[in-house]
Amino acid sequence: MPHLALYRKYRPSTFEDLLGQEQIMKVLHEAAKQEKLAHAYLFAGPRGTGKTTTARLIAKIANCETRASNASFRAKGEPCNTCATCRAIDEGHLIDVIEIDAASNRGIDEIRNLKESVRVTPSMSPYKVFIIDEAHMLTKDAWNALLKTLEEPPAHVILILATTEIEKVPPTISSRTQKFYFKRAALQEIVKKLKKIAVEEGIKISNEALNLIATSAEGSYRDAESLLDQLVLFGDTHITLEEVERMIGKVGFDTLSHFSELLLEGTLDEALAALAEIENGGFNLAQFTKDVIKYLRRVAVLATNPKMESLFKEELMEEHLQMIIKASKRFTTAHINLLEALIEAYGEMRYSQFPIIPLEVALLNVLPKK
């Protein structure tokens, strides 16, 4: 059987399944129950947070055959996901749901034809749904074509624009749409979803490994799921932290925090030895330095203002946050030199043939000898 990418297999098929976007879901779920979908939507937010998924949910709500024939099911405000129409939408080949990638050449042609295309009634389903992805890439001509349609959308048309860069969408367009802002995924939410996938797929994976995958996905469910996918394809069904570290070239939280502790309180020889070991492990040192800077920055921020703890809740596991809070109690103004030296080293090492040297020099300059 061909391997179905995890992120496709586990794409939420109901509003209920969509994580972390409660506000959006409430509004759309209610609209679906009451049959009050808008004619134009604008979805903005970072990659991998559910924009395309939600657009397809709307397409299914609009065209689901079970909903059309069964009023009590319709009142649930979800698609059935089993009728031929729902299935065709999931597979991306329902003729009346047109997905356009504005970033591609084909997309430009398709937008050019949009004005005519929206006039033609749908061939099989009640609604023609146009999903325009990467909408910020549209040209001026394309925006004009779109504006005409938005000014007088035919009754059978739903337009959904998705973008990661909403500031590039002309106000004339965005003011004619119902707008939703998708949030970056919180670390815990990503971990929760990965755990669920692991259970269903029979993958054994440690919490630290899951945490590193989720951290490196930087707020994108898709990136996290794709990484898990790669690990499964690459290895076995038992994934360790070391495997994740090797795959992405980033160290896990424990190594990061241990090294940062040495910088805050250890001696030069201890820190140099730990660094040499990390280099031997084949890790990307610029990436590592960036992670150390981020770690110490959080320590510094919390040392100055403990209330900012809530800011980091979305980005860190609870036990990791506690370690950073503990470290912040030992942070002094003298450590600001350290942070500055690391930032300078980071700037240099990205262009250096020997990235370890700027980092070692930074340590030599700021850490006590013994």
Tokens standing for residue 288: 């590592």
Residues with Cβ within 8 Å of residue 270, at least 6 apart in sequence: 262
Size of site (CB under 6 A) for ligand ADP = 21
Q: Which of residues 89-118 bind ligand ADP (CB under 6 A)?
A: none
CB closer to ligand ADP, 190 vs 342: 190
Q: Which does 222 bind (CB under 5 to 8 A by kind): Zn ion, Mg ion, ligand ADP, none?
A: ligand ADP
Q: Note whether 164 binds Mg ion by CB under 5 A.
A: no
Backbone angles phi, psi at 47, to 5 degrees: -65, 150
Cα distance between residue 358 and residue 273, in whole Å? 15
Which one among 13, 21, 49, 52 touches Mg ion, defined by CB under 5 A? 52
Shortest distance, position 193 Cβ to ligand ADP, whole Å: 6
- When binding is defined by CB under 5 A, the residue of 18, 83, 217, 324 that contacts Zn ion is 83
Q: Which of 15, 32, 41, 50 binds ligand ADP (CB under 6 A)?
A: 50
Closest approach of Cβ 366 to ligand ADP, in Å?
Answer: 41
66 interacts with Zn ion by CB under 5 A: yes
Work out which of 55, 80, 198, 359 binds Zn ion, going by CB under 5 A: 80
Residues 245-304 contacting ligand ADP, CB under 6 A: none
Segment interacting with Zn ion, rule: CB under 5 A, options 75-83, 102-110, 225-233, 275-283: 75-83
Choose among ligand ADP, Zn ion, Mg ion, none what residue 10 binds, the Cβ cut-off being 5 to 8 Å by kind.
ligand ADP
User: In the set 96, 225, 245, 360, which binds ligand ADP (CB under 6 A)?
Assistant: 225
**Nearest position to Mg ion, beta carbon:** 52
> What is the Cα–Cα distance from 357 to 272, expressed in whole angstroms?
11
The one of ligand ADP, Mg ion, Zn ion, none whose footprint includes residue 47, by CB under 5 to 8 A per kind, is: ligand ADP
Q: Chain centroid to CA 9: how far?
A: 17
| Backbone phi and psi for residue 104, each to the nearest 5 degrees, phi listed first | -105, 160
Task: Pull the structure tokens for residue 168.
Answer: 């590039």
Report how far residue 260's alpha carbon sits from residue 295's, in angstroms, rounded to the nearest whole number.
Answer: 7
CB of 98 to Mg ion, least distance (A): 15
Binding at 112: pick from Zn ion, ligand ADP, Mg ion, none (beta carbon under 5-8 Å per type): none
Query: CA torsion sign, 148 to 152 to 158 to 163?
Result: positive
Contacts of residues 203-210 at CB distance under 8 Å and 24 or more positions apart, as own/partner, are 203/228, 203/232, 203/237, 203/238, 203/239, 204/237, 204/238, 204/239, 205/238, 205/239, 205/240, 206/239, 206/240, 206/241, 208/241, 208/252, 208/253, 208/254, 209/239, 209/240, 209/241, 209/243, 209/244, 209/252
- CA dihedral (73, 75, 81, 85) positive or negative: positive
Contact positions vs Zn ion (CB under 5 A): 64, 66, 80, 83, 86
Contact positions vs ligand ADP (CB under 6 A): 7-8, 10-12, 18-21, 47-53, 162, 193, 221-222, 225
